[in-house]
Amino acid sequence: MPKLKILFICLFIVAHYSTCSHATRLQEILENGELRHLGVPYANFVTGLGDGFSVELIKGFCNELGVKYVFVNSSWNTVISDLVGKTFLVQNGNVKKLGHVPVRGDLIANGLTILPWREKLLSFSDPVFPTQVMIVSSIESRLKTIKNGHDILQDIKSSVSQLNGIRLLGKYNTCLDIKLYDVKGVDVHFVDFPGNLNDLIPAVIAGKADATLLDMPDILIGLSKWPGKIKVIGPVSDEQSMAVAFTKDACMLRERFNAYLKRIKADGTYYDLVMKYYPLIMQFKPDFFINVRAK
């Protein structure tokens, strides 16, 4: 084999393992004997009471690694910075890194939707939960629930067309950011909600806005918690996925998590977690769970 070709192969291997199989974060966790789970209380992923879908998921992963589980409470505005150690600015889908901040955790797990701008900062696990962003209003609203068809783009168009003159709640730099969706030609007044995302439905029920953007897990919680108080109008997004987020250099940690996730999907543990926290999800997104085994 020519020397130049051997050199190229060696350089490729070095580059691959230095970027895609970096083990430093995993080694630090194993040496320290603990894994820090960054989370934001939201939609039964993190309840704030010491449990939740994501909490139990990551506790199981800690057991797999043989390390102590440590929960680190964060906020939607800071959780990514708490992981990557940098503040940043998002403009038109572009991400500009700014100053340095302390790293407070080893992974994020709280119903974080995979979005293109987030992928510029983070490395995501295999999908852990299905979602879709919808318009939700109070039951008394003049907005009408659309009839779901076989064309998601047409469903989105039918939903968005009702937003003319509407005061719509959401939150910038999350999956509930109106800038992520096509609402051109529609005169909608978008309000960046200052509170916790768990409070979006109560705000709409109280008449503080005409409607809100909401993702599927929170809708499921809302339908159970406030029966007869809200209605789902229709989608503004295609189907999306939520996943656990890691830093770009934590490839070995991510790979270990993906292996753990694959195992619990096969032995029924994952299915039990889903049914515990989101029993209605099978009615809305059954295809996501086709290859998931029940005990």
Spatial distance between the Cα atoms of 219 and 225, rounded to a whole number of angstroms:
10
Alpha-helix runs per DSSP H in the chain: 3-19, 24-32, 53-65, 79-84, 116-119, 152-160, 200-205, 216-225, 251-267, 269-277, 281-284
Are 243 and 114 within 8 A, CB to CB?
Answer: yes
| DSSP one-letter code for 293 | P
Residue 153 and residue 213 share a domain:
yes
Residue 123 and residue 63 share a domain:
yes
Q: Assess if residue 295 is contained within a domain.
A: no
Residue 8 and residue 58 share a domain:
yes
| DSSP one-letter code for 142 | S
Burial class from Cβ neighbours inside 10 Å (0-12, 13-18, 19+) for residue 205 reads: middle
Tell me the average pLDDT across 75-90.
Answer: 94
Residue 74 and residue 32 share a domain:
yes
Burial class from Cβ neighbours inside 10 Å (0-12, 13-18, 19+) for residue 219 reads: buried
| CATH number of the domain residue 150 falls in | 3.40.190.10
Averaged pLDDT score across all residues of the chain: 90
First to last CA, the chain: 53
The 10s digit of each residue's pLDDT in 87-144 is 998 887 788 888 999 999 999 999 999 999 999 999 999 999 999 999 999 999 999 9
The 10s digit of each residue's pLDDT in 269-290 is 999 999 999 999 998 899 999 9
SS3 30: helix
Residue 118 and residue 245 share a domain:
yes
pLDDT at 22: 60
Q: Given the structure tokens 């950011």, which residue do they identify?
A: 177
Tell me the C-alpha to C-alpha distance, in Å, between residue 60 and each of 3, 68, 187, 254. 48, 11, 47, 15
Residue 200 and residue 162 share a domain:
yes
Are 164 and 172 within 8 A, CB to CB?
Answer: no
pLDDT at 163: 94
Residue 119 and residue 8 share a domain:
yes
Residue 142 and residue 216 share a domain:
yes
Tell me the average pLDDT across 15-19.
Answer: 44
pLDDT at 147: 86
Domain hosting residue 95, numbered range = 3-130+241-289
Taking 3-state DSSP, the helix, strand and coil percentages for the chain, each rounded to the nearest 5, stand at 40, 25, 35
Range of lowest pLDDT (203-212, 227-236, 282-291): 282-291
Residue 162 and residue 39 share a domain:
no
Q: Assess if residue 232 is contained within a domain.
A: yes
The 10s digit of each residue's pLDDT in 146-164 is 987 789 999 999 999 999 9
| Cβ-based neighbours of 238, under 8 Å, separated by 6 or more | 132, 152, 156
| Cβ-based neighbours of 291, under 8 Å, separated by 6 or more | 265
Q: Assess if residue 13 is contained within a domain.
A: yes
Residue 179 and residue 249 share a domain:
no
The 10s digit of each residue's pLDDT in 232-261 is 999 999 999 999 999 999 999 999 999 999
Number of structural domains found in the chain = 2
Are 123 and 51 within 8 A, CB to CB?
Answer: no
Q: Assess if residue 294 is contained within a domain.
A: no
| Cβ-based neighbours of 284, under 8 Å, separated by 6 or more | 216, 220
Residue 122 and residue 14 share a domain:
yes
Half-sphere exposure (Cβ direction) of 222: Cα atoms closer than 13 Å: 28
| DSSP one-letter code for 42 | B
More confident: 68 or 180:
68
Q: Tell me the one-letter amino acid at 232.
A: V
Q: Is the pLDDT of residue 36 over 50?
A: yes
